[in-house]
Amino acid sequence: MQIDFTVKSSEESSDIALVYTKTIIDALKKKVKEYNSIGGERVTFQQLKDLFIEGASIKVADKTVPQCGFARINLYLRLLGGESITQEIKEITVSRIGNKLVLDCSASILPSEADFTSAAEDLNKFKINFDLTDIEELYFVSDKDKPFLGEYL
């Protein structure tokens, strides 16, 4: 029995990360189009990308990084569609935008098991069949930073 100890070059790893990033981006764009086609409150790609990054940054046992990202998106879309919050809100962030105060409690609301189930369905539908150990493996940046890959992100 032979064991292959070949280490991927950083160029190969970078190529894989680009493919994974593009796959996620394409899936998010399709999710935006699907959601916006049903009417009601519209969402943007940037909103879903930020939600994906936020969700994928939180480690959940027995869930993949992409599944956590899509579960956060599904939670948001469910609440945007009018479903009530049934969880206890543990933290509220207060910020100022112009002369208005904004209250945000979304960070303390966790995706439900139904959100994770829908996320698993999303992964199948969008052919996301890879896992990551960390969101940092993708070429994503928050909207506060300049995109690493220009206009594509």
**pLDDT, tens digit, 9 for 90 and up, residues 25-75:** 999 999 999 999 998 889 999 999 999 999 998 888 899 999 999 999 999
Does an H or E element contain 11, and which? helix 10-37
Confidence of residue 10 (pLDDT cuts 50, 70, 90): low
Question: Does any domain span residue 151?
Answer: no
Question: Does any domain span residue 152?
Answer: no
- Say how far apart CA 106 and CA 108 lie, in whole Å: 5
Question: Does any domain span residue 3?
Answer: no
Question: Does any domain span residue 153?
Answer: no
- State the chain's mean pLDDT as an integer: 80
Question: Tokens 């052919």 — which residue?
Answer: 127
Question: Does any domain span residue 2?
Answer: no
Q: What are residue 103's phi and psi, to 5 degrees?
A: -100, 130
How far, in Å, are 24, 91, 108, 113 from residue 62 at the CA level?
Answer: 20, 25, 20, 12
Phi-psi region of 150 (alpha: psi -120 to 50; beta: other; left: phi over 0): left
Question: Does any domain span residue 1?
Answer: no
Q: Extract the tokens encoding 69.
A: 């990202």
3-state secondary structure of 94: strand
> Can you tell me the mean pLDDT for 137-148?
60
Contacts of 134 (CB under 8 A, 6+ apart): 65
pTM: 0.76
Are the C-beta atoms of residues 28 and 52 closer than 8 Å to each other? yes
Question: Does any domain span residue 4?
Answer: no
- Say how far apart CA 13 and CA 34 lie, in whole Å: 32
Of the listed ranges 6-15, 60-69, 129-138, the one predicted with least confidence: 6-15
Number of domains the chain is built from: 1
Confidence of residue 96 (pLDDT cuts 50, 70, 90): confident
For residue 31, the model assigns a pLDDT of: 96
What is the extent of the structural domain holding 128?
Answer: 12-146
Question: Does any domain span residue 69?
Answer: yes
